[in-house]
Structure 1
């Protein structure tokens, strides 16, 4: 795993003002925008999430193409996009995940009457059950 990845994105400028964005080296890594500024932001987010998913799945990450090797259609431009992965990994590690649980009605009612924070209680119980002291180390 690298700390930084740089991949060329192709911005395809549509006649309606929208920009389609794709990464020739990363099939399925796509986005869209309505301005260049938004396009760079959306392309960065798409690249970060795509690379993170590939890392999580154990997929090999290809070498990026050289800008000069990318064939463009009329109305297309290449933009080099960077993903700084330590920041992405930290953000994803801290991201909250929604879980659904089932409780008997009477227990839910009693807990709500006492102001129980269900998320905090469940997190603490899971940490205790797993013997985890530092919340980000497992």
Structure 2
């Protein structure tokens, strides 16, 4: 393995000198599956006072013949996004919901507890859509338990 130095010459770096990838290294990492965050790194939890947890919220994807794939969130009226493809819509859904929740926390608003699938699908606006889960990091103190 080589690394550049200021003189423009490559310098040999012995592979034995590279830091070992320990369990602690991997435990401190953010784990992703594609673009979806499966587990936040511990430092991300520190901003929430150490009480953050991953929470699944229901998202509804809609597709009209002449439109992109639209995504809405039954628990967050007004939070919507879209994508040209299903995969892009899924990625955009995660980003939109995380950003929306971050704004609600900054404003001091309570974050709703996740709705059940059954309740969300009773809404006529959701009946023609397809539901999927979006996993986001939320402070446990911010989540309202009333439904």
Instruction: Output the TM-score relative to the length of structure 2.
Output: 0.53
Aligned residues: 85
Runs of 4+ aligned residues of structure 1 deviating over 4 Å after TM superposition are none
In 1, Cα distance between equivalents of 2:84 and 2:59: 16
Farther-moved stretch of structure 1 (65-74 vs 32-41): 65-74
Residues 30-45 of structure 1 correspond to what in structure 2 (within 5 A)?
A: 30-45=80-95
CA deviation profile, 1:59-116 (whole Å, cap 9, x unmatched): 0011111112222333x10010011359xxxxxxxxxxxxxxxxxxxxxxxxxxxxxx
Match of 2:105 among 36, 55, 65: 55
Q: Which has the higher helix share?
A: 1
Higher Rg of the two aligned structures:
1
Q: Which has the higher strand share?
A: 2
Structure 1: which 5+ runs fail to align?
A: 87-138
Aligned-residue CA RMSD in angstroms? Answer: 1.8
Matched, 1:65 2:130: no
CA deviation profile, 1:24-79 (whole Å, cap 9, x unmatched): 111121101121111110000001001111111110011111112222333x1001
In 2, Cα distance between equivalents of 1:4 and 1:37: 21
What displacement does 1:23 show? 0.4
**Paired position in structure 1 for 2:135:** 82
Instruction: Output the TM-score relative to the length of structure 1.
Output: 0.56
